[in-house]
């Protein structure tokens, strides 16, 4: 299954107030719901691969931190049962490419 989601905010070095973060996360989830309607049934176990299309390349630690909200959305929207290692296995590190006109996150899920 291939999903194209909006680019999540770069929250790795952010110091948001908790109310601001909740509001931003809810707005992000709404954009994700519009971009990727939920499936009929969640994958019990899956492999995940992510590709970021960004304005400029990021540090690897910030790139990994940027996957938090998308993974949480996958659980909330019932694409996967949980995002713990028993249910979700990463295939390599998230890739990144520059695409200044169409910034997005492409996630590929494969059933295990």
Predicted confidence pLDDT, tens digits, the chain (112 residues): 999 999 998 877 678 889 988 999 999 999 999 999 889 899 999 999 999 999 999 999 889 999 999 999 999 999 999 999 999 999 999 999 999 999 999 999 999 9
Give the CATH number, domain containing residue 87. Answer: 3.30.1330.70
pLDDT of residue 15: 80
pLDDT of residue 52: 98
Which residues are registered as beta bridge partners of 97? 53
- Structure tokens given for 88: 């979700």
Burial of 24 (0-12, 13-18, 19+ CB in 10 A): middle
pLDDT of residue 38: 86
**Which residue range is the domain that position 45 belongs to?**
2-9+17-111
pLDDT of residue 16: 84
pLDDT of residue 14: 73
Q: Pairing state of beta strands 46-54 and 104-111? A: antiparallel
Alpha-helix residue ranges (DSSP H) falling in the chain:
18-35, 60-65, 68-76
Q: How many domains does the chain have?
A: 1
């Amino acid at each position: 299954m291939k999903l194209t989601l909006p680019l999540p905010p770069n929250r790795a070095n952010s110091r948001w107030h908790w109310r601001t973060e909740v509001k931003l996360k809810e707005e992000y989830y709404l954009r994700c719901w519009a971009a990727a309607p939920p499936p009929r049934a969640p994958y019990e176990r899956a492999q995940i691969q992510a590709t970021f299309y960004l304005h400029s390349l990021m540090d690897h630690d910030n790139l990994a931190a940027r996957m938090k909200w998308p993974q949480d959305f996958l659980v909330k929207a019932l694409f996967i049962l949980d995002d713990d290692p028993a249910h979700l296995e990463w295939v390599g590190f998230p890739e990144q490419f520059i695409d200044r006109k169409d910034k997005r996150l492409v996630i590929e899920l494969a059933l295990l």
